[in-house]
Structure 1
């Protein structure tokens, strides 16, 4: 009889070995870890290339690394040495019926590939994140440039590309990788067979450009999409400045949103007259977009005549969608009470960084309590524990440490005693 996983931890019992760096693969692994899977992040001694990536705490610890590796276990191994490679191979092969799962974006390591590992684990699930479908490298910024989004982002009239600070394709790719593991694991349960899957960063961006209509528009419409600044393309939405110098983003997606916005701002008569003069119907998205500048001009005067508190009070009475623009500092400062009230957030004391509010899994488990938000491990924190699980003695582990094959956390003493 198979026991059901604990509420809020649907992946409890699943075991994943992650050899990764940067955003996509670590995010995929963390997503599964926060849902209850045991995820062992394997790093080279001293850490992978993302170990010291900005932003950094005053101690020099990477907040970025800690943020993307919560709830995982950490094993540090010399990945160049045959002994280190053998240890990782054993970890994959001997991880029980719900293990044998590898998530990686490491390249140029044949011993870590699907073909090599299936000799030790025939039912292996191997998910590899790549740059392009042909195996050539790429990162979020280069993929974004290649697909076209920077050429339609930014203010109207701007001639050059505008990059976005959000690594959207890394994020989407990491979540696709997590889905790929779940799909392959479901197939393995039914058939007993493993699977090799690849997810290319460029393919994820290309797929979304197609899914959102950008590619079809370029092929069929014949008119390049223009830059529209902070306007919402195809509908009505943009930012407005209040009398006290704050800015608010307002979106009217539906006819009801628009009707409520016009009524609460007292502009119904002016908008009705404008419809007549232009022969437009502002209950439709298309006409609101085509005449966005003149409509925004009418609304801008109303916003400029009211302080933010008055604007918020009025907009709360409507169905329109809106939000005040805030900095990250404001979000964790003056709005910290809202963050603490969010059940996804918790106070973590991360070694090297300190106490701060950090998110857990954004999936709400419904009636079950949300799982505890677990900090990221220190580099090599679980090396001894993991190696003991492979049957190594304390003396054997310490011998590996002394010869530089494995490492524990900095300053922790002999690995075998950790």
Structure 2
């Protein structure tokens, strides 16, 4: 059978994951594991559940963000502040392969659910801990959200226009980067467990460190020459020409920074003089005259509509693109052709378009097996697997432990 026709089970089928986190960092990591077949049991506090259920746009009382973040998960309500709920959580952790949490350091230890306690019960457990500043160091006890990690990691300093107030990227990028690093850590730890006798381990991800890890040569430039990289707006410092340029009806991004690409770009916009200028034959020379090149490109784009600019430059193989809004994404054929927009039916019966699965695996692709759960809808089934049912379950409900 050809690989194109074959579809194996998702690669994480059979993996049991407990998710103790709320909002973004921890739950995003759980989402990725769930997309690729893991059984993810999300522990939520009784009553309101994860606050993300009520964030941003609501539809029929539930956040549409929740429908993305919590797909392929099961919801169990436990008030982890209560000893009986902590006992149940420990029993679930004994059977889990992975536990994800993003509480402030020390909270789970206070509940008897820290790494030392749980790893003693389950030596094969892999535990991902996402926090603002990590589990150690002088800042460990400070509260930290993604925006703080983005600032400390160096990203906020570079965001925005020169001389103006730094701006937010527009999404919770700090949390997402921490989650992605956490998933990498989980997969590495699972591989280590497989080849090294079954031992689990703890993964410590700090929000600011996840951002810092993506800051390219920021620190090395300072170390080597005392250079502090500054905000550059839409330009790409040290690489030219690469910027956003105005059109008569919007903006386009043009990356003309390859040597041969640069020549084609200059010829296309009618600047043979710049195309043939030997001082501009390499990136170093172009960076020295970046402002001149941006002015020349902008003078050409301002007289044209976005579609004309894109069509002209794509025809001569110059990388370019429009600045996409949500509408542009929803209407784009490339997104549709690659399955990056999928339609789900929520538990409330709504039809909703959501992002597809990434990365795309050829033999064992991920998928959306079931929509995001209602609060606590899996509590009875999961607790029954531990032998907790009937009068015992009713008593727990009466005490609002579940």
**Same topology, TM > 0.5:** yes
Aligned-pair CA distance for 1:32: 0.9
- Give 1:189's aligned residue: 194
- Give 1:103's aligned residue: 100
Unmatched tracts of structure 2, length 5 or more: 1-6
- Whether the aligned pair in 1 keeps the contact of 2:74 and 2:378 (CA below 8 Å) is yes
Aligned-pair CA distance for 1:353: 8.3
For 1:64 and 1:315, locate their aligned partners in 2 and report how far apart those are by CA, in whole Å.
Answer: 36
Residues 298-333 of structure 1: per-residue CA shift (max 9 Å, x gap): 11121122222322221221332211113223432x
- Give 2:378's aligned residue: 382
Residues 267-297 of structure 1: per-residue CA shift (max 9 Å, x gap): 223543xx3xxxx632322222221211111
Question: How many residue pairs align between the two structures?
Answer: 386
- Give 1:411's aligned residue: none
- Give 1:25's aligned residue: 26
Aligned-pair CA distance for 1:352: 4.9
| Cα pair distance change 1:266/1:146, threshold 3 Å | same
Taking only aligned residues, the RMSD between alpha carbons, in angstroms, comes to 2.3
For 1:83 and 1:395, locate their aligned partners in 2 and report how far apart those are by CA, in whole Å.
Answer: 15
- Give 2:155's aligned residue: 149
SS of equivalent residue, structure 1 residue 51: helix
Superposed, which structure 2 residues align to 1:387-402 within 5 Å?
A: 387-402=383-398
- Give 2:4's aligned residue: none
- Whether the aligned pair in 2 keeps the contact of 1:350 and 1:376 (CA below 8 Å) is yes
Superposed, which structure 2 residues align to 1:239-388 within 5 Å?
A: 239-243=244-248, 245-272=249-276, 275=277, 281-332=279-330, 335=331, 337-352=333-348, 354-367=350-363, 371-372=367-368, 374-388=370-384
For 2:334 and 2:352, locate their aligned partners in 1 and report how far apart those are by CA, in whole Å.
Answer: 14
Aligned-pair CA distance for 1:369: 5.7
For 1:123 and 1:369, locate their aligned partners in 2 and report how far apart those are by CA, in whole Å.
Answer: 26
SS of equivalent residue, structure 2 residue 186: helix
The reply on whether 1:233 has 2:232 as its aligned counterpart is no
For 1:92 and 1:154, locate their aligned partners in 2 and report how far apart those are by CA, in whole Å.
Answer: 44
Q: TM (normalized to structure 1)? A: 0.85
- Give 1:220's aligned residue: 224
- Whether the aligned pair in 1 keeps the contact of 2:267 and 2:275 (CA below 8 Å) is no
| Cα pair distance change 1:353/1:268, threshold 3 Å | farther
For 1:70 and 1:372, locate their aligned partners in 2 and report how far apart those are by CA, in whole Å.
Answer: 7
For 1:351 and 1:82, locate their aligned partners in 2 and report how far apart those are by CA, in whole Å.
Answer: 32
SS of equivalent residue, structure 1 residue 21: coil
For 1:148 and 1:290, locate their aligned partners in 2 and report how far apart those are by CA, in whole Å.
Answer: 25
- Whether the aligned pair in 2 keeps the contact of 1:140 and 1:167 (CA below 8 Å) is yes
SS of equivalent residue, structure 1 residue 316: helix
Aligned-pair CA distance for 1:31: 0.7
For 2:305 and 2:235, locate their aligned partners in 1 and report how far apart those are by CA, in whole Å.
Answer: 22
| Cα pair distance change 1:294/1:259, threshold 3 Å | same
| Cα pair distance change 1:203/1:310, threshold 3 Å | closer
- Whether the aligned pair in 2 keeps the contact of 1:57 and 1:353 (CA below 8 Å) is no
| Cα pair distance change 1:250/1:336, threshold 3 Å | closer
| Cα pair distance change 1:142/1:263, threshold 3 Å | same
For 2:10 and 2:308, locate their aligned partners in 1 and report how far apart those are by CA, in whole Å.
Answer: 44
For 1:321 and 1:103, locate their aligned partners in 2 and report how far apart those are by CA, in whole Å.
Answer: 40
- Whether the aligned pair in 1 keeps the contact of 2:250 and 2:306 (CA below 8 Å) is yes
For 1:270 and 1:189, locate their aligned partners in 2 and report how far apart those are by CA, in whole Å.
Answer: 58
Unmatched tracts of structure 1, length 5 or more: 1-5, 407-418
The reply on whether 1:37 has 2:35 as its aligned counterpart is no
Moved over 6 A (4+): none
- Whether the aligned pair in 2 keeps the contact of 1:40 and 1:74 (CA below 8 Å) is yes
Residues 121-178 of structure 1: per-residue CA shift (max 9 Å, x gap): 23322221121133233112112222333223212332x3323223222112101111
For 1:393 and 1:224, locate their aligned partners in 2 and report how far apart those are by CA, in whole Å.
Answer: 61
- Whether the aligned pair in 2 keeps the contact of 1:248 and 1:322 (CA below 8 Å) is yes
- Whether the aligned pair in 1 keeps the contact of 2:193 and 2:200 (CA below 8 Å) is yes
| Cα pair distance change 1:269/1:253, threshold 3 Å | closer
